[in-house]
Amino acid sequence: MTALAVLLLVAVVILGAIPNSPVKNMVKPINAVISPIQKIVKNAGDALGNFYAAISDGIAIREENQELKSQIVELQYVITQNDEARIKYEELKDAFHIKDTFSSYEIYGAAILSRDADEWFSIIRVDIGTDDGLVVDNGSSLAVVDVQMNLLGRVIETGKDNSKILPLIHEGFNVIGKVNEVNGAVVVISGDSYLKNDGLCLVTGIDANIIPEIGSEIVTSGDGGLFPQGIPIGTITSVDTSDPLNITATLLPYTEIGSVKDLFIMVPNAPEDSEFIDADSSQVSNTDGE
């Protein structure tokens, strides 16, 4: 029955399409009813097609965005690597500058491995040790500087593949310094348990007749033999003259301990002619004995 109805409807439509066909006038009312339905069905089909197209475009855009994000991450990595290479290059230039300035010292570059849990990093451990030729004998020490050649601290212990650095703001650190000018006043720079909380050092041994002014630059004096002369330490930030017999001051180091990643250790070269001198002295001594 349904098939017959469908065949009849198809026949009517075909006959209605024939020019001057009497059936054409008969199907006009039907067309009036069917036409809006056809439009609705067509619009629904178009909307459904647009919906699927939007989903497809959205998926494509999301995949494209993901690909762009991956490319951005790769570019950022390349930029980071280039920045690190540039920084290393600048550090190498600084190392050569240190080498030129202190020609009688061997310069060892090192990277920081870890710092103690102490807020102000009581001890700094670096990735260089006796296997690299770095040795600290009992009672001796080695100066440690940052990439700008400012004093950072000293080596206190060397292991097989690492060493320990005592930073200058540590209360166990001290060094003889001087005001960086001709005949500048000689002072003692020490770490202080209270001042280190502000990143400062204590300055003592001040002569009442030669009191350093605020802003004066302090460098190593070279006295004592542990540190070479002329390494920048920092600047005077305050002076306390309330006790004329014990004048003190505070010093702000040039080195920001917390931001340092790489550093340089200064090892004095052995005299090239020491062996010759020893042999010659021995020969002279034997001659005298004879």
Q: State residue 274's pLDDT score.
A: 42
**How far is 67 from 76, CA to CA, in rounded Å?**
14
Query: For residue 226, what are the CA distances in angstroms to 61, 142, 176?
Result: 66, 7, 9
Question: Which residues face 121 on adjacent strands?
Answer: none
pLDDT the model gives residue 147: 83
* CA gap 48, 168 in Å, rounded: 75
Closest C-alpha to 203, from 254, 212, 194, 143: 212
pLDDT digit string (tens) for the chain, length 290 residues: 666 655 665 565 555 555 555 555 555 555 555 566 556 656 666 666 666 666 777 777 777 777 777 777 667 666 665 555 455 545 555 555 666 667 778 888 888 887 665 544 578 888 888 888 888 876 678 899 988 889 999 998 888 889 889 999 998 899 999 999 988 999 999 999 899 889 999 999 999 999 999 999 999 998 877 788 899 999 999 999 999 899 999 999 999 887 887 888 888 876 654 443 343 333 333 434 43
Per-domain residue ranges for the chain? Answer: 13-101, 102-268
Distance CA 253, CA 260 (A): 13
Q: Token pair for residue 254?
A: 């040039």
For the domain made up of 102-268, the CATH class stated in words is mainly beta
Determine the pLDDT at residue 25.
56
* Amino acid of residue 119: E
Nearest Cα to Cα of residue 163 among 204, 213, 109: 109
At 278 the pLDDT is 42
pLDDT score, position 28 = 56
